[in-house]
C-alpha cells in the first residue's frame, strides 16, 4: 500500500480511502491512485484489515466426517450457499470420525477467528468448546447433538423415520426384520436403532437382537451379516439399512444373491430409483439440514442471544419397490 502511495504521490491513508470507496477524495487523486493500484497489482490484505478493524473475518468453518461423502458434500453445498448470501467464505475439514481430529480442526478454526463453526460432531465430549463459545464463536451442531454441553443443534427425525420404516415393512407382512446399522457410538446410528426397537414394539414384533448388527460398515462386514441374518430357518425376510453407506454395501452384497429380502434404506441416494428393484428409502432433505444450520449460525453471528435451539427436521418414506415385496 505504501508503494501505491509513493507511486501515486499521495499518503498511504489516501490509498486506503480509495480502496474503501470513502468520499472526500478528489476524483483526480482517486484516478491516480487507481492507476497505481492497477500498475502494481495491489490487493488489499484482508488479514491486516480485519485485525485493525476488529471486525469479523468473513469466514465460517464447517467440519464433517468426510467432505468426499455425497451426503456431506450436499450439506457443504447448502452451507456454502447461505454463507455466500451472507458474504462469507467457508473453511472445510474432515474429522474422519475422529474426535481428536475434530477438536484440532475446531481449535485451528478458532485461532483463525472464524465467525462461526458448523460441526457434525464425531466425539461425545465437547467441553473444549465452552471457552471458545464463551469467547463469542457461535457453534451449531449438525445431524448429531453435542455430547456434554448445551448448544444449537439441527437434527433429522431418526427415531420417527426408522419407526416408519419398520411399520412400512410390517404392513407388507414382514415379521422378521433385520437392522444393519453403523457403530453404536454414532448418535444417528444409536437413535435409528432405538427407532427400530420402538417400531418393532408398535407393530407387535418381538425385538430380536440376533437380527441386529451395529458396526462400521464395510463391504466384508455387511457381506457376513447378510449371510448370517438372511439364511437359515429363522432368516429375516426384510432388512433395514441404517444409512446410505450400509445401503450401498448391502445392495452389492445382495446383487448376486439367490434370495432377495425386502429392503428399506435410511438416507436417499442418487440412482436409488434406477436399481432393480428400485430402493425404498426414508429420505430427508440434506440441503434443508445445511440451510437450517447455517441460518441458525448466522443469526448467532449477528447477535441472536436467545437460548440454544434444537431443530428436528422431518423425514418421509419414499416407496419405490424394494420395501413393498411380501415375505
Residues that bind a second copy (CB under 8 A): 41, 43-48, 50-51, 57, 59, 66-70, 72-74, 76-78, 80, 89-94, 107-113, 131-132, 134-135, 248, 251-252, 255, 269-271, 273-276
Task: Confirm if 32 and 10 have CB atoms less than 8 A apart.
Answer: yes
Q: Which does 59 bind (CB under 5 to 8 A by kind): DNA, a second copy, none?
A: a second copy
Q: Which does 299 bind (CB under 5 to 8 A by kind): a second copy, DNA, none?
A: none
Task: Confirm if 92 and 60 have CB atoms less than 8 A apart.
Answer: no
Distance, in Å, from the CA atom of 54 to the CA atom of 61, rounded to the nearest integer, reads 19
- 27/54 with CB nearer a second copy: 54
Distance, in Å, from the CA atom of 163 to the CA atom of 165, rounded to the nearest integer, reads 5
Helix (H, G, I), strand (E, B) or coil at 138: coil
Helix (H, G, I), strand (E, B) or coil at 218: coil
Q: Which does 57 bind (CB under 5 to 8 A by kind): DNA, a second copy, none?
A: a second copy
Positive or negative, the CA dihedral 167, 172, 173, 177 is: negative
- 159/301 with CB nearer a second copy: 301
**Alpha carbon 6 to its chain's center:** 49
Task: Confirm if 319 and 162 have CB atoms less than 8 A apart.
Answer: no
Q: Which does 134 bind (CB under 5 to 8 A by kind): a second copy, DNA, none?
A: a second copy
CA distances from 137 to 15, 154, 186, 323 (A): 33, 18, 25, 45
Distance, in Å, from the CA atom of 230 to the CA atom of 235, rounded to the nearest integer, reads 5
**Size, binding site for DNA by CB under 7 A:** 29
User: Minimum distance from CB of 310 to a second copy (Å)?
Assistant: 25
User: Minimum distance from CB of 43 to a second copy (Å)?
Assistant: 5
Task: Confirm if 245 and 217 have CB atoms less than 8 A apart.
Answer: yes
Q: Which does 73 bind (CB under 5 to 8 A by kind): DNA, a second copy, none?
A: a second copy
Enumerate residues 6+ apart whose C-beta is below 8 A from 126: 146, 147, 148, 149, 151
- 97/164 with CB nearer a second copy: 97
DSSP 18-48: HHTT-SS--HHHHHHHHHHHHHHT----HHH
Binding mask 134-173 for DNA (x = CB under 7 A): ----------------------------------------
319 binds DNA (CB under 7 A): no
Question: Which DSSP symbol is given to 140?
Answer: E
- 52/303 with CB nearer a second copy: 52
Binding mask 35-74 for DNA (x = CB under 7 A): -------xxxx--xx-xxxx--------------------
Q: Which does 26 bind (CB under 5 to 8 A by kind): a second copy, DNA, none?
A: DNA
Chain residues 10-39 in contact with DNA, contact rule CB under 7 A: 10-14, 16-17, 19-20, 23-26, 28-30
Q: Which residues here bind DNA, judged by CB under 7 A?
A: 1-2, 9-14, 16-17, 19-20, 23-26, 28-30, 42-45, 48-49, 51-54
Amino acid at each position: 500500500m505504501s508503494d501505491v502511495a509513493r507511486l501515486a504521490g499521495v499518503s498511504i491513508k489516501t490509498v486506503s480511502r480509495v480502496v474503501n470507496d470513502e468520499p472526500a477524495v478528489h476524483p483526480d487523486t482517486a484516478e491516480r491512485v487507481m492507476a497505481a493500484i492497477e500498475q502494481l497489482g495491489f490487493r488489499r490484505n484482508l488479514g491486516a484489515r480485519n485485525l485493525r478493524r476488529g471486525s469479523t473475518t468473513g469466514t465460517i468453518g464447517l467440519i464433517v466426517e468426510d467432505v468426499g461423502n455425497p451426503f456431506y458434500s450436499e450439506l457443504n453445498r447448502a452451507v456454502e450457499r447461505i454463507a455466500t448470501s451472507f458474504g462469507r467464505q467457508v473453511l472445510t475439514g474432515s474429522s474422519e470420525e475422529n474426535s481428536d481430529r475434530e477438536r484440532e480442526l475446531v481449535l485451528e478454526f478458532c485461532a483463525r477467528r472464524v465467525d462461526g463453526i458448523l460441526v457434525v460432531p464425531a466425539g461425545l465430549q465437547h467441553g473444549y468448546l465452552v471457552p471458545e463459545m464463551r469467547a463469542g464463536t457461535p457453534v451449531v451442531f449438525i445431524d448429531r447433538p453435542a455430547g456434554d454441553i448445551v448448544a444449537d443443534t439441527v437434527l433429522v427425525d431418526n427415531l420417527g423415520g426408522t419407526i416408519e420404516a419398520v411399520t412400512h415393512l410390517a404392513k407388507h407382512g414382514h415379521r422378521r426384520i433385520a437392522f444393519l446399522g453403523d457403530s453404536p457410538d454414532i448418535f444417528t446410528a444409536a437413535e435409528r436403532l432405538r427407532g427400530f426397537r420402538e417400531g418393532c414394539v408398535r407393530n407387535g414384533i418381538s425385538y430380536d437382537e440376533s437380527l441386529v448388527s451395529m458396526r462400521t460398515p464395510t463391504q466384508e462386514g455387511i457381506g457376513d451379516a447378510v449371510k448370517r441374518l438372511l439364511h437359515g430357518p429363522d432368516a429375516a425376510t426384510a432388512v433395514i439399512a441404517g444409512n446410505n453407506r450400509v445401503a450401498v454395501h448391502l445392495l452389492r452384497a445382495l446383487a448376486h444373491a439367490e434370495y432377495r429380502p425386502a429392503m428399506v434404506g435410511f438416507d436417499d441416494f442418487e440412482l436409488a430409483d434406477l436399481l432393480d428393484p428400485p430402493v425404498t428409502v426414508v429420505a430427508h432433505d440434506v440441503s434443508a439440514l445445511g440451510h437450517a444450520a447455517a441460518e441458525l449460525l448466522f443469526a448467532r453471528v449477528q447477535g441472536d442471544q436467545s437460548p440454544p435451539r434444537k431443530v428436528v427436521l422431518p423425514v418421509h418414506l419414499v416407496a419405490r419397490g424394494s420395501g413393498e415385496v411380501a415375505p
